[in-house]
Structure 1
Amino acid sequence: MAKKKQFPLRLDPKLYEALEHWANDEFRSVNSHIEFLLREAVKKAGRTRKEEGN
């Protein structure tokens, strides 16, 4: 598995709280839920690379 890129992310506390509740509802960590949401947004926007197949 490729190493994941790490970077700081600053969020409004109310947004973080909403994401935290949503992540808990989906049995995910906040970090994995943000990654899931971003991955879905990239797919929906048609921004995935053709060779990735995701």
Structure 2
Amino acid sequence: MTDISEVFGFIKDFGFPVVLSWFLLVRMENKLAGLTEVIGELSCNIAAMRGEIPKR
């Protein structure tokens, strides 16, 4: 059986980095979704400028 202080040591050592990584990934996911939308709009605008599709 592991000592309780050893368990708390694992939480202290690995818990904070895991929580911080999760928080940053959640924030980055929203930014990536917005970036994907903007890139799609940009590609439509470029295609419209080339005359490949009608402008919106």
TM (norm. structure 2) is 0.31
Task: Report the structure, 1 or 2, having the larger helix content.
Answer: 2
Query: Who wins on radius of gyration, i.e. which is larger?
Result: 2
